[in-house]
Amino acid sequence: MTATAPRPLATRKRDTLHRLEHDVDAWVATASPNGTPYLMPLSFLWNGTHLYLATATTNPTAKNLQLNPHLQLTLGTLRDVVHITATTDPTQPTPAEAQAFATKAGFDPRPLPNYPFIRATPTKIQAWQEANELKDRTLMTNSTWRI
């Protein structure tokens, strides 16, 4: 545990947005209809409102999301975490967003017939670095920023 003061919420939001804009990959957790969890690293693109992910339709992540459109996505490290709860839908990115995804990820799913994009809409975002930030870790609830 560090002796530094917790970051103000505005600073945490700024740091969270920086991660969303600059990080390339995240851990994505889904659950099967019987509740079996599945965790997979996926590349993502943040467009300021939504995250776009892409994975093969045969992957357990895609199969799980077809039946249960909820996921959790985590960025960062153990001591600098951004944790996102989101709902998903099959809305495709604009051509510019799809190109930005390909450039950022170093992988272009568009030519692959079984690699659709998945749009994730954050409903809750939490961010913390140390135990002293746990109390006020929630930055977004019900898809609305607290600050």
In a domain, 2, yes or no: no
In a domain, 130, yes or no: yes
Count structural domains, the chain. Answer: 1
In a domain, 127, yes or no: yes
- The candidate with the shortest Cα–Cα distance to 52, out of 40, 64, 42, is 42
- The candidate with the shortest Cα–Cα distance to 117, out of 51, 20, 49, is 51
Contact assessment for residue 25 and residue 101, using Cβ atoms and an 8 Å cutoff: no
- Around Cβ 80, how many Cβ atoms within 10 Å? 13
Helices (H), 1-147: 9-22, 60-67, 95-105
In a domain, 3, yes or no: no
Structure tokens at 100: 């930005």
Q: Read off the pLDDT band of 4 (50, 70, 90).
A: confident
In a domain, 30, yes or no: yes
pLDDT tens string 35-93: 999 999 999 999 999 999 999 999 999 999 999 999 999 999 989 999 999 999 999 99
* Average pLDDT for 2-19: 91
Q: What is the DSSP string of 12-25?
A: HHHHHHHHHHH--E
Contact assessment for residue 144 and residue 14, using Cβ atoms and an 8 Å cutoff: no
In a domain, 39, yes or no: yes
- 110-126 in b/e form (b: 16+ CB < 10 A) is beeeebbbbbbebebbb
In a domain, 125, yes or no: yes
Residue 106 belongs to domain spanning = 9-145
| Adjacent-strand bridge partners of 83 | 74, 126
- Whether 3 shows a pLDDT value over 90: the answer reads no
Rounded-to-integer distance, Cα 21 and Cα 11, Å: 15
pLDDT tens string 108-128: 999 999 999 999 999 999 999
In a domain, 34, yes or no: yes
pLDDT tens string 12-21: 999 999 999 9
